[in-house]
Amino acid sequence: MNLSLRMGAPTSSSAGFVFWMLHADVDVGAPIPQSSEEFFTQRGSWNDMWIFRGSLKRFGILMGLCLTVLSFTPAPTWAAQEIKPFVRGSYQQIVAARQGKPFIVNFWSLSCSYCQVELAMLKKLAKKYPRLDLVLVSTDTPEEEKEIAVTLEKYSLGKAEAWVFADSYTERLRFEVDKTWQGELPRTYFYSDNVGARRAVPVQAISGKIEYKEVERWVKEQYAPR
């Protein structure tokens, strides 16, 4: 196709210009047709004109439908994990809600390197044992809730019940949890189901890093078929 555009060329019909641009095969200096009829007369094909007009109409209808559908399609939303404020009485609430059932409570912090290792371990366990009831309590502050949620999402622990310390008097919160806890992290509590021989040791508290095999053994014992 050899086209030429000249400033000031008459264009009484925009349709003629469009058709000329799309279909003309002219030499340099060829005049621009003044209308679609003139163009197709030159080409000797009125049928092509009507086919082209019909295609444009169908294309416009299709685009309109697409835009309409998109306008009514809701944007995808991701619900942020609920992180509850851990205040006085919260720990008793957690325990009471699981009376007679096995579960794990893990206290952790964003600044604790061993806590990250333990969260990765809990991720593996939660994936392998979907029934595992896991409660994660961050000893950070409510202002860091976004970072806490991102960390839990990183370790695929979004299904775990999550809390964050919401009392500046952290010593009081720790005292309610365990009078012997001095604040070391990570701190993990294993609550047995209080059935049979396990009643002798209903709760086990461990500070620091714990081994995967030890935790898995406990999980198997607690969640074994009765």
Residue 46 lies in a domain: yes
Query: Which pLDDT belongs to residue 45?
Result: 52
What confidence tens digit (pLDDT) does each residue in 145-156 have?
Answer: 999 999 999 999
Counting the structural domains of the chain, the total is 2
Domain hosting 51: range is: 14-72
What's the pTM value of the predicted model, to 2 decimals? 0.65
Mean pLDDT of 114-143: 97
**Exposed / middle / buried, residue 199 (Cβ in 10 Å: 0-12, 13-18, 19+):** exposed
One domain for residues 88 and 53: no
Domain membership flag for residue 161: yes
Confidence of residue 224 (pLDDT cuts 50, 70, 90): confident
User: Are 97 and 41 contained in the same domain?
Assistant: no
Mean pLDDT of 107-115: 97
- Report the pLDDT value the prediction gives residue 128, as an integer from 0 to 100: 96
Amino acid at 107: F
The confidence band for 78, taking pLDDT boundaries of 50, 70 and 90, is very low
Integer CA distances (angstroms), 193 to 51, 55, 210, in order: 77, 72, 21
Question: Is residue 3 in some structural domain?
Answer: no
Judge whether residue 218 has pLDDT over 90: yes
Last residue of a domain, one of 26, 47, 72: 72
**pLDDT at residue 28, as a whole number:** 45
Question: 72, 95, 113: which is the final residue of a domain?
Answer: 72
Token pair for 169:
């008097």
Token pair, residue 65, equals: 């439908």
Q: Residue 136 domain-assigned? A: yes
